[in-house]
Structure 1
Amino acid sequence: MFNEVFGIITFLVTFILLVIMYRCFGKYGLIAWIAIGTIIANIQVIKTIDIFSISATLGNVMFASIYLATDILNDIYGRKVAKRAVWLGFSSTLVMVIVMQMSLTFAPAPEDHAQHALETIFNVVPRVALGSIIAYIIGQHLDVFLFSLIKRFFHSDKTFILRAYGSTILSNIVDTALFVAIAFIGTLPLSAVFEIFITTYLLKIISTIFNVPFGYIAKSMYRKGKIDKVDHIS
Structure 2
Amino acid sequence: MKPVTAPSTRVRYAARTRTHFDVILALFCVVLVVSNIVATKGIELGSGSWSLGSLQLWPVITDGGAFLFPLAYVLGDVISEVYGFRAARRAVIVGFGASIVAALTFVAVEHAPAASFYENQGAFEAVLGQVPQILLASMAGYVVGQLTNSYVLVRMKARTAERGLVARLATSTGVGEAADTLIFCAIAASAIGITSMGQFWNYAIVGFVYKVLVELIVMPVTVVVIAWLKQREPGYWDDAAPVVD
Residue 192 (str. 1) matches residue 199 (str. 2): yes
Task: Report the TM-score when normalising by structure 1.
Answer: 0.78
Contact residue 182 and residue 204 of structure 2 kept, 8 A: yes
Tell me how far apart the structure 1 counterparts of residues 119 and 28 of structure 2 sit (CA, whole Å). 31
Tell me how far apart the structure 2 counterparts of residues 223 and 145 of structure 1 sit (CA, whole Å). 19
Tell me how far apart the structure 2 counterparts of residues 114 and 36 of structure 1 sit (CA, whole Å). 26
Matched residue type, 2:175? L
Q: Deviations over 1:124-158 (max 9, x none)?
A: 075443222211111111111111111122321x5
Tell me how far apart the structure 2 counterparts of residues 108 and 45 of structure 1 sit (CA, whole Å). 25
Q: Deviations over 1:105-128 (max 9, x none)?
A: 111111124433322221007544
Which residue of the partner structure matches residue 172 of structure 2?
Answer: 167
* SS of equivalent residue, structure 1 residue 59: helix
* SS of equivalent residue, structure 1 residue 39: helix
Which residue of the partner structure matches residue 51 of structure 2?
Answer: none
* SS of equivalent residue, structure 2 residue 174: helix
Q: CA deviation at 1:164?
A: 1.2
Q: CA deviation at 1:85?
A: 0.4
Matched residue type, 1:196? Y
Bigger radius of gyration: 2
Residue correspondences, number:
203
Q: CA deviation at 1:47?
A: 2.3
Identity in percent:
21
Q: Deviations over 1:176-195 (max 9, x none)?
A: 1111122337x722222111
Task: Give 1:84's match in structure 2, choosing from 67, 84, 90.
Answer: 90
Gaps of 5+ in 2: 1-18, 47-58, 235-245
Tell me how far apart the structure 1 counterparts of residues 20 and 31 of structure 2 sit (CA, whole Å). 16
Contact residue 37 and residue 131 of structure 2 kept, 8 A: no
Gaps of 5+ in 1: 1-24, 229-234
Which residue of the partner structure matches residue 151 of structure 1?
Answer: 157
Residue 109 (str. 1) matches residue 115 (str. 2): yes
Q: CA deviation at 1:218?
A: 1.3
Between structures 1 and 2, the one with greater helix share: 1
Between structures 1 and 2, the one with greater strand share: 2
Q: CA deviation at 1:59?
A: 1.6
Residue 69 (str. 1) matches residue 69 (str. 2): no
Which residue of the partner structure matches residue 176 of structure 1?
Answer: 181
Which residue of the partner structure matches residue 44 of structure 1?
Answer: 38
Across the aligned residues of Structure 1 and Structure 2, the Cα RMSD in angstroms comes to 2.4
Residue 55 (str. 1) matches residue 49 (str. 2): no
Which residue of the partner structure matches residue 9 of structure 2?
Answer: none
Q: CA deviation at 1:55?
A: 2.8
Q: Deviations over 1:185-223 (max 9, x none)?
A: 7x7222221111111111111111112122122123224
Matched residue type, 1:55? I
